[in-house]
Structure 1
Amino acid sequence: MMEVSASNGTVLIVDDTPGNLALLSDTLSEAGYRVLVATDGCSAIEQIQYVKPDIILLDVMMPGIDGFETCSRLKADPATAPIPVLFMTGLSELDDLLRGFGEGALDYIVKPIRPAEVLARIEVHLTQSRNLRRAESLLDHHEFAAVAVDAAGDIVWLTPAAREWLADFSELQGTASSADDVLPETLQGWFQRWLRQSGRNASEAESDVHRLAPGFALRVSACQNPDEYLLLLQREDAQWTPETLRDKLKLTFREAEILMWIARGKTNKEIGIILTTSPRTVNKHLEHIFEKLGVSTRAAAVAMVLQRG
């Protein structure tokens, strides 16, 4: 999917009425936006596969699939779900707008179209969308493990570091990882007990740091979204030394050094820099470590360190 650069952003207008298309296109072009046009939902969805708009103005009543179904399909696709959608509708259709919000639309514009209102709403929602993308990008590129869940323990969103934390925790527990769906069983059980103990104010409450297993801890932080809970996942910084790992696990000193840094979350490249050796040499030592410990993955090796430590 191609990203399009523009001074103010790219707006896709989806409407089968020529007069509305002309008015909106002229208004947005004069305001510095790049304008894309589609006359029905199917062509809009197809067009977005090639050019990704920053925001979509979507008519409710159209031939073929209507605006509701178009919005539903866009929100079901991870590649297009983040794009803000604003419905355009006549006054007689306002009762259907609740359905539109349920499909994932952010706002609506009442026809007949008033250019100043359209520009104001677009500016507000584009600003919010860009701020959200900046925040998500910051989380994605930093080692910040956070996961938001609903009261059932279903995952609403999570950072890449949280996905890795949950996968490692699941492997330690000997259960299949479901990091993109629901919490692992042990974590789910703890979370449900915490909910019951917190009572009605759970959505505003915060927990102390809780140690789930050696090396894995978390706490619950207040979440701004109603009926959602933010879990901040932590890896405990165990104070292993190469000497203790060498003696407990019957490794060479260099193998113990490498395992210590792996247990602290370092990559082969980072370990190579720390120990002034190449990542390939680190990987070779890692193969010997796996063989001696009787494991086949880094997570399993770390789990053994945690259990023995």
Structure 2
Amino acid sequence: MPSKPPVVRSRLDQTLDRANCDVVLIVDDVPDNLSVLHDALDESGYTVLLATHGEAALQRAEQALPDIVLLDAMMPGMDGFDVARRLKASPRTAHIPIIFMTGLTETEYLVAALESGGVDYVTKPIKPKEVLARMQVHLAGARERRQARNALDAFGYASITVRVHDGKLMWQTPLARALLMRYYASEAPHTPEAVCQWLRRNAADVAAGKLSGEPPRLSIEQGPKRLTFRLHQHIGDSEGGGDWLIIMQEVSDESVMDAIALSFKLTPREAEVLYWVVKGKINRDIGDILGSSPMTVKKHLERVFVKLGVETRTAAAGMAMARIRQLHPQFEA
């Protein structure tokens, strides 16, 4: 008696319990193939999503962000190779491992599967135990990378992956998305031009062996906060520069201002003025930052001189810097 096709229940409107099981998207236009895999994976504790054509696969992957995709290579309309390329082109889905399912064993098709973004392949007729074994290998790696990215976000370190040759932002963590929007008003797949230039310059120096230590970091200031970028890891082959994992961190110097105020018995506004003097800003620039006139800044600074017992900006900055270094050794002037 032939097996019955599975009842396709949409789980996209439900909460996917990722803490207890992995989510698998199966893409195949043959109901019998879906049935066999669905039953095997469901019995093994996976949450299973189904798609019977390329457009549905892309839509479900974008909405549900599965942990892994089992993808039929040959389908009418949009084939599996095109689906894989589009999944890898989207920052939201580029990180998802893809295992191709194919009845074609010729080398050119297997190479095409890997070149379009697949990490592995299984041949038809499908053997569920083989599929489960292959999935476990790639899910373990994906799970570790996901946990690492989540941990980075939790500790305030955002991460992005950027392709060197065209500057395309391949994927980003939620914190990275928020920071890029706040500092650059930029969204994936576009990487801010300043970041692209910094990446290409340093990636070229790394490739040429010109750097013995860590490449210089990129920093952008926004008031008392600044966003820093550092090259963390080269990913993939070196053709065209490859991809780079970049770690971002936002640092706030508001605690430095509080320390200045307490140390020298300054008002909050006087502490802000002294902070920007330490940063090398002139009165006009400080006025622009604080939304006041250069004359008002000058009056605040005169009161700072009295409280510190100094007569010049240089002396005031020197006293403040010495105290800041004691309390915040990581501070960058």
Shorter-chain TM-score bucket reads 0.5 to 0.7
1:21 maps to a residue whose letter is L
Q: Which secondary structure state, in structure 2, belongs to the residue aligned with residue 82 of structure 1? A: coil
Question: Which of 140, 143, 163 is the equivalent residue of 2:153?
Answer: 140
The answer on 1:12 being equivalent to 2:7 is no
What's 1:299 paired with? Answer: none
Question: Which of 62, 70, 79 is the equivalent residue of 2:83?
Answer: 70
Once residues 138 and 277 of structure 2 are traced to their aligned partners in structure 1, the CA distance between those partners, rounded to angstroms, is 43
Q: Which secondary structure state, in structure 2, belongs to the residue aligned with residue 291 of structure 1? A: coil
Q: Which secondary structure state, in structure 1, belongs to the residue aligned with residue 155 of structure 2? A: coil
Q: Which secondary structure state, in structure 1, belongs to the residue aligned with residue 100 of structure 2? A: strand
Using the size of structure 1 for normalisation, the TM-score is 0.61
The answer on 1:127 being equivalent to 2:137 is no
Report sequence identity in percent: 32
What's 1:118 paired with? Answer: 131
What's 1:58 paired with? Answer: 71
The answer on 1:87 being equivalent to 2:100 is yes
User: In the TM superposition, what is the alpha-carbon distance from 1:59 to its structure 2 partner?
Assistant: 0.6
What's 2:194 paired with? Answer: 184
Distance 1:263 1:141, change over 3 A: farther
What's 1:254 paired with? Answer: 268
Distance 1:200 1:67, change over 3 A: same
Q: Deviations over 1:175-217 (max 9, x none)?
A: x9899425518x836962x566556446x95336579899898
Q: Would you say how many aligned residue pairs link Structure 1 and Structure 2?
A: 260
The answer on 1:206 being equivalent to 2:175 is no
Once residues 52 and 199 of structure 2 are traced to their aligned partners in structure 1, the CA distance between those partners, rounded to angstroms, is 51
Q: Deviations over 1:65-88 (max 9, x none)?
A: 211222233333333333322110
Once residues 113 and 36 of structure 1 are traced to their aligned partners in structure 2, the CA distance between those partners, rounded to angstroms, is 18
Q: Which secondary structure state, in structure 2, belongs to the residue aligned with residue 61 of structure 1? A: coil
2:191 maps to a residue whose letter is D
Using the size of structure 2 for normalisation, the TM-score is 0.58
Tell me if structure 2 keeps the 8 A contact 1:61–1:67: yes
1:137 maps to a residue whose letter is N
Extract unaligned runs of 5+ from structure 1: 171-175, 247-251, 265-285, 295-304
Q: Deviations over 1:220-251 (max 9, x none)?
A: 556464434566678798x88858xx9xxxxx
Once residues 97 and 90 of structure 1 are traced to their aligned partners in structure 2, the CA distance between those partners, rounded to angstroms, is 10
Extract unaligned runs of 5+ from structure 2: 1-11, 279-286, 296-316, 318-332
Q: Which secondary structure state, in structure 2, belongs to the residue aligned with residue 27 of structure 1? A: helix
Distance 1:189 1:256, change over 3 A: same
Tell me if structure 1 keeps the 8 A contact 2:164–2:199: no
Q: Deviations over 1:8-59 (max 9, x none)?
A: 3222221122332222122212212232322222233344455443322111
